Amino acid sequence: MESRSAAAALELKRRIVQGLIPPGARLSEREISRGLNVSRTPLREALLQLESERLVERTPSGAWQAPRLTERDVRDIFAVRKHLEVLAVRLTIERASDAEVTALEEYLSASEKAHEALDTVSMTVANGGFHTAVYRSAHSSWLMTAIEPIRSQTIRIRFLIASQATAPEYPEGHREIYDALVRRNVHIAAAIVSDHVEEDLKVAVRHLSLLAGPPGLFYYTEADMLNETLSADVRSEIASADRPAPET
């Protein structure tokens, strides 16, 4: 994509993935183009790119909207995620350096501190960072390409749930995954990852109403865009996969 189209796509992606654009929100090209200060042509290119990533969709009338997630969508997302994450830990154990594995501890510490502080957003960012670091430690551009759409949907689900959570639900499996990676135990790591994704699925299914979005017809407007900002940590986490993946 041209630079303006790419920038528009990244900004919209950030807002959808962080949950700033709610599921079901209609996206007016006129309003979004003004809010992003881009013309309609690069905006349309950006929307087509996001449509290919299933982060926006067309309604029967041809309007753009942020997708509502059904239970079937959620179960499919997590089924694919489980297979790809098992592959990711297998390749990480095979290919990652000791330093790369040890560096994962940083995300665990950040997540645990955020959990103690009841900071759901910071915990969500740290947990997402942990998974992304594992994917990158696998040193497979093929895996990164395959997992990026699932990664985006998973982060979106986490943020939509975290936005309404009264207290964060800490996934204990991260520490266990880390310990298995340090020991280079493929079988234990794969089993823990499978269980961890299943537990995440249960959390998502308990919050289906948040993933479906508010009922009725409503729009995401230029005023909404101007009123919302993203923290540097959130921007970094959502944008991290847009950097080239390391080759094997």
Q: What is the pLDDT of residues 120-153, one digit of tens each?
A: 888 888 998 999 999 999 999 999 999 999 999 9
Q: Cα dihedral sign for 99, 84, 67, 166?
A: negative
The answer on pLDDT for 118 being more than 90 is no
Dihedral sign for Cα 73, 79, 82, 85, please.
negative
Determine the pLDDT at residue 168: 59
pTM for this predicted structure: 0.85
pLDDT of residue 173: 83
Which strand ranges, in their side-by-side order, compose the sheet holding 26-27? 57-58, 64-65, 26-27, 219-220
- Asked if 214 and 24 touch (Cβ cutoff 8 Å), the reply is yes
pLDDT on residue 235 = 47
- For the stretch 177-197, pLDDT in tens is 999 999 999 999 999 999 999
- Residue 146's pLDDT is 96
Q: What is the pLDDT of residue 2?
A: 63
Q: How far apart are CA 26 and CA 231, in angstroms?
A: 24
Output the average pLDDT for the chain: 88
- Split at pLDDT 50, 70, 90, the class of 241 is very low
Residue closest to 216 by CA, chosen among 18, 17, 25, 20: 25
